[in-house]
Chains A and B, each alone.
Chain A
Amino acid sequence: MGATIEAAGAPRLAMPEPDAGVMGRRAAIVADLRAIVGAGAVIDHERAMRPYESDALTAHRQLPLAVVLPSTTQEVAAVLKYCHDNRIRVVPRGAGTSLSGGALPLADAVLLGLAKFTRVREIDIANRCAVVEPGVTNLGITKAVEHLGFYYAPDPSSQIACTIGGNVAENSGGVHCLKYGLTTHNVLGAELVLISGEIVRLGGKHLDAGGLDLLSVVIGSEGLLGVVTEVTVRLLKKPDTARAVLVGFPSSEQAGDCVAKIIASGIIPAGIEMMDKDAIAAAEAFVKVGYPLDVEALLIVELDGPEAECAHLLGAVEALARDCGATTLRVSQSEEERLGFWAGRKAAFPAVGRISPDYLCMDGTIPRRQLPFVLARMRELSGKHGLRVANVFHAGDGNLHPLILYDANAPGELEAAEAFGADILRLCVEVGGVLTGEHGVGIEKRDLMPEMFNETDLLQQQRLKCAFDAEGLLNPGKVFPTLHRCAEMGRLHVSGGALPFPDLPRF
């Protein structure tokens, strides 16, 4: 039996059993950590630790053993080595904006915060890259280089607050992924501290890896493989122009058809967003940007590049939209109008927050053409669970964000919302999609992993984890529904040349 996390009304979530030995040595551990990073960089008072008790998945809370805030790579390495040598669990944390509980503390684990790593170490425009510390915010990178006409492409909606270290951990996306890729396509290198305290450098200012591309798996590893202390990111020149079209359709089928036709015609827009009727209504009521309220689905199609290209492609998109039965169509005539189109979409989450006491933001990806089917099934599920749902959708790449509306103070509603969410994610997998497009598995989708992967798939993933962290000390209880000991999973029976099946191979 594992431990359970306290959660106000939330279903109890099994987490690894706290190590009583470690808990009992708490005072000594805090003293040892202070000796490594200095007294001021270790927080152990309950009140001071409260801000760290959850990330943006606030339904789940837990105070850590202690909070440690190192300032240098060497300190991170020393803290990790100490924890490794003393079998103490570690939960890494960036800005704490994870929506999947990736940075949820454990009672017996040191919470390792990277908040002091806020320096932009180098801007190298000639090589179109920047070297930054993990605590620099996503938007902070762009702010540091925009006066030179450059930017960092991935733009998760939390970009004002979320840090590049967290982006690396989660392989964050944003609304422009279809054209510009995810974090993994925009990170060239990283400095990684292993739980052993060893420091390895992956990548750099050059492209590709000279051996196995370990950066590939470190990005998106949700803090389970190591702690990133420096990131080299690719910078892009800001496009000359961006123009957007706002298109309304009488049905989601027609909107989906329009997206497919745009892409099949060879156009890769910078972004294609879709909102359903409920999301449109909530957004319009909130920001009043002139969204049509008489449509079932609204698309924002953004094109960027040289003026000549935007103008040419806008014409093509307009024609396709009309072919697909668009009932309203507006092309942005100014930067102000373009930003207005986006203002509603970007405010969709808080807008929904205004019409419902609480909402749960889901994050599945589906093959685009399945959208009408998925929306129809979601309406059925909405009836089954007795809760409303509004949908915003990164339509270009199939990433769906259903917002489930509920009231945490109404008995049973949180449980119903979570059950509804789980049903939606099962539906995503059923139609050929995945459990999470950009928010990560964390604790939120951990127990749904078997919906997508069988035992063999998950064991192989966990064996990779063992290669980085044989004791399972880094961020345990996240991503994988069942914890196995590495020694157990690593067992192999080799019979020294004697074939166990003499008939094999039989082809």
Chain B
Amino acid sequence: MTEPLFARDEQDVVEAVAAACASASPLEITGTSSLRALGRPCAGRVLDVSALCGVTLYEPEELVLSARCGTPRRDIDDMLAESGQMLAFEPLDLGPVLGTAPRAGTVGGLFAVNLSGPRRLSAGSARDHALGLRAVSGRGELFKAGGRVVKNVTGYDLPRLFAGAFGTLGVATEITFKVLPRPETEQTLLLHALAPARAAEALSAAMGSSCEVSGAALMPAAVAARLPGLSARETVALRLEGVAPSVAARREMLRQALSPFGPTDVLEADVSAPLWRALRDVEPFAGPSACALWRISTAPMAGPILAARLCAELDGEAFCDWAGGLIWLSLPSEAAWAERVRAVLAPEGGHATLIRATAAERSKTAVFQPLDGALAALTHRVKDSFDPAGVLNRGRMHEGW
């Protein structure tokens, strides 16, 4: 009974989940397995949905794309690029970090984990771009929610709830996304040698300007040294995207706004693009490595100081994205030190997720931010409302459910 089940179509998923539900035997939902090491290890027979493949709707002038869950992300990227469009939330490619093949994931996976890149700051997350859904609940019932239009308040917004649910609520068999035009060009402004508190102010000043910054990161010297286009100095990087005359105008406006923080350097598009791709995919902390890697979301102004404090306490290395609000923290060994990480974070608020760790470490650690009493109970009831027998990715997010 341990060999994987391979679903050929939606009906197979319905039958597999219905059978699993009837017998209360858990399933682990997989596509290309590129994200299988994310979250807690979960028990159950593998239900492979990678054969549910193909873009079912793409209308560039309507800014909408629907794809079956197993559609490779590279196919989506390529198809959108042909029309000058993109998934604007810059989905992460965790291949480098998890030691799997690059660009290997599926659209179902990138939706399920809701991991968005640098542009999350200005364009929103995967969740923000999810418009519609077809899914099989833990009862083995096929249902739909949302739609294919941007403006829709008909019923609860289940597509957004499913983003980041790690497949624990249902098997999303088809997802509809809002897509956006790819920016014509980009440039990056760099500031150097700012202490964390001062860097936080610089990031805030940039984001508080009308320059429409679409990427705002802060790297210590050792991390900057490992990034394309940067040298081994503390660096604040600010990305501007859009039509060329606008980017040029905003670059000068931003320079002006940042003049109190020192002189700026400019990276042209050919250097800027690889830099942000490397930041998106956390390349400075790429594997093969079993060293614990954390992703921490907090208030932007708190991030840079928090990152420095975490590094000092845990002998780690970190950089900030999202204008300081996202910290990538790499620890020196397999030990995740979850309680310590979260104790440092607690006064500022936010959440910490363990992205890379050994299976043993992920089994005994709260990979996701532990929830308080009432919220934990509510979250558990929400899970039960979709999957009462607890058969879908049981244990992926929380021990036992």
Q: Which A residues are closer than 8 A to B by beta carbons?
A: 125-128, 149-150, 170-171, 173, 177-178, 181-182, 184-185, 194, 198-202, 204-214, 216-217, 219-221, 237-240, 260-261, 263-264, 266-268, 305-309, 311-313, 365-369, 394, 397-399, 432-441, 445, 449, 452-454, 456-461, 463-468, 479, 490, 492-501, 504-507
Question: Are A464 and B375 in touch, CB under 8 angstroms?
Answer: no
Question: Are B248 and A308 in touch, CB under 8 angstroms?
Answer: yes
Question: Are A128 and B128 in touch, CB under 8 angstroms?
Answer: no
| A464 contacts across to B, CB distance below 8 A | 156, 158, 382, 385-386
Q: With A205-B349, A206-B351 given, can you name 20 additional A-B contacts, CB distance below 8 Å?
A: A126-B204, A127-B299, A171-B157, A181-B128, A201-B375, A212-B165, A266-B181, A306-B211, A306-B250, A309-B242, A365-B147, A433-B147, A452-B147, A456-B142, A457-B145, A461-B156, A468-B382, A492-B139, A494-B24, A504-B18
B300 interface contact, C-beta 8 A: yes
Question: Are B350 and A206 in touch, CB under 8 angstroms?
Answer: yes
| B291 contacts across to A, CB distance below 8 A | none
Question: Are A437 and B153 in touch, CB under 8 angstroms?
Answer: yes
| A217 contacts across to B, CB distance below 8 A | 156-158, 160-161
Contact with A along B329-366 (1 / 0, CB 8 A): 00000000000000000000111110000000000000
Question: Are B153 and A170 in touch, CB under 8 angstroms?
Answer: yes
Known: A213-B164, A367-B148. A505 touches B15 (CB 8 A): yes
Closest to A225 in B: B156
User: In the docked arrangement, what's the CA distance between A397 and B156, Å?
Assistant: 19
Question: Are B374 and A198 in touch, CB under 8 angstroms?
Answer: yes
B23 interface contact, C-beta 8 A: yes
Question: Are B243 and A312 in touch, CB under 8 angstroms?
Answer: yes
CB distance from A216 to the nearest CB of B (A): 4
**Contact check: which of A150, A312, A445, A452 meets B246 at CB < 8 Å?**
A312
Known: A194-B374, A204-B299, A213-B114. A497 touches B24 (CB 8 A): yes
Known: A306-B210, A505-B15. A213 touches B349 (CB 8 A): no
| B168 contacts across to A, CB distance below 8 A | 212
User: In the docked arrangement, what's the CA distance between A398 and B147, Å?
Assistant: 12
Question: Are B378 and A467 in touch, CB under 8 angstroms?
Answer: yes
Closest to A313 in B: B243
Closest to A490 in B: B388
B293 interface contact, C-beta 8 A: no
| A369 contacts across to B, CB distance below 8 A | 59, 61-62
User: In the docked arrangement, what's the CA distance between A491 and B280, Å?
Assistant: 44
**Contact check: which of B128, B139, B151 meets A437 at CB < 8 Å?**
B151
Question: Are B158 and A452 in touch, CB under 8 angstroms?
Answer: no
* Number of A-B residue pairs at CB separation under 8 A: 319
B261 interface contact, C-beta 8 A: no
B383 interface contact, C-beta 8 A: yes
Question: Are B156 and A221 in touch, CB under 8 angstroms?
Answer: yes
Known: A125-B208, A306-B210, A308-B248. A439 touches B349 (CB 8 A): no
9 of the cross-chain contacts (CB-CB < 8 Å) are A128-B208, A200-B378, A206-B325, A214-B378, A305-B210, A397-B149, A399-B149, A435-B154, A456-B143
CB distance from A229 to the nearest CB of B (A): 14
User: In the docked arrangement, what's the CA distance between A490 and B249, Å?
Assistant: 58
Query: What 6 A-B pairs are tightest by C-beta distance, nearest first?
Result: A210-B351, A210-B369, A309-B246, A216-B160, A266-B181, A308-B249
User: In the docked arrangement, what's the CA distance between A340 and B253, Å?
Assistant: 30
B166-223 interface with A by 8 A CB criterion: 168-169, 180-182, 184, 201, 204, 207-212
User: In the docked arrangement, what's the CA distance between A337 and B161, Å?
Assistant: 43
| B210 contacts across to A, CB distance below 8 A | 149, 237-240, 305-306
User: In the docked arrangement, what's the CA distance between A209 and B389, Å?
Assistant: 24
Question: Are A182 and B61 in touch, CB under 8 angstroms?
Answer: no
| B397 contacts across to A, CB distance below 8 A | 211-212
Question: Are B7 and A507 in touch, CB under 8 angstroms?
Answer: yes
Closest to B183 in A: A266
User: In the docked arrangement, what's the CA distance between A109 and B182, Å?
Assistant: 51
B71-98 interface with A by 8 A CB criterion: 83-84
Q: How large is the interface on B (under 10, 10 to 19, 20 to 34, 35 or more residues)?
A: 35 or more
Which of the listed residues A149, A173, A185 has the most CB atoms from chain B within 10 Å of its own CB?
A185
User: In the docked arrangement, what's the CA distance between A127 and B148, Å?
Assistant: 33
| A309 contacts across to B, CB distance below 8 A | 242-243, 245-246, 249-250
| A202 contacts across to B, CB distance below 8 A | 375
Question: Are B160 and A213 in touch, CB under 8 angstroms?
Answer: yes
User: In the docked arrangement, what's the CA distance between A224 and B249, Å?
Assistant: 47
Question: Are A438 and B161 in touch, CB under 8 angstroms?
Answer: no
Closest to A489 in B: B385
CB distance from B21 to the nearest CB of A (A): 7
Question: Are A127 and B301 in touch, CB under 8 angstroms?
Answer: yes
| B63 contacts across to A, CB distance below 8 A | 263
B119 interface contact, C-beta 8 A: no
| B60 contacts across to A, CB distance below 8 A | 264
Question: Are B149 and A460 in touch, CB under 8 angstroms?
Answer: no
User: In the docked arrangement, what's the CA distance between A307 and B246, Å?
Assistant: 8
Closest to A495 in B: B22
CB distance from A290 to the nearest CB of B (A): 29
Contact with A along B253-271 (1 / 0, CB 8 A): 1000000000000000000
Question: Are A494 and B23 in touch, CB under 8 angstroms?
Answer: yes
Known: A127-B300, A207-B297. A467 touches B385 (CB 8 A): yes
CB distance from A123 to the nearest CB of B (A): 12
Question: Are A441 and B153 in touch, CB under 8 angstroms?
Answer: yes
Known: A126-B301, A479-B155. A194 touches B378 (CB 8 A): yes
User: In the docked arrangement, what's the CA distance between A185 and B157, Å?
Assistant: 12
Known: A434-B152, A436-B152, A453-B144. A501 touches B128 (CB 8 A): no
Question: Are B297 and A210 in touch, CB under 8 angstroms?
Answer: yes
User: In the docked arrangement, what's the CA distance between A257 and B245, Å?
Assistant: 27
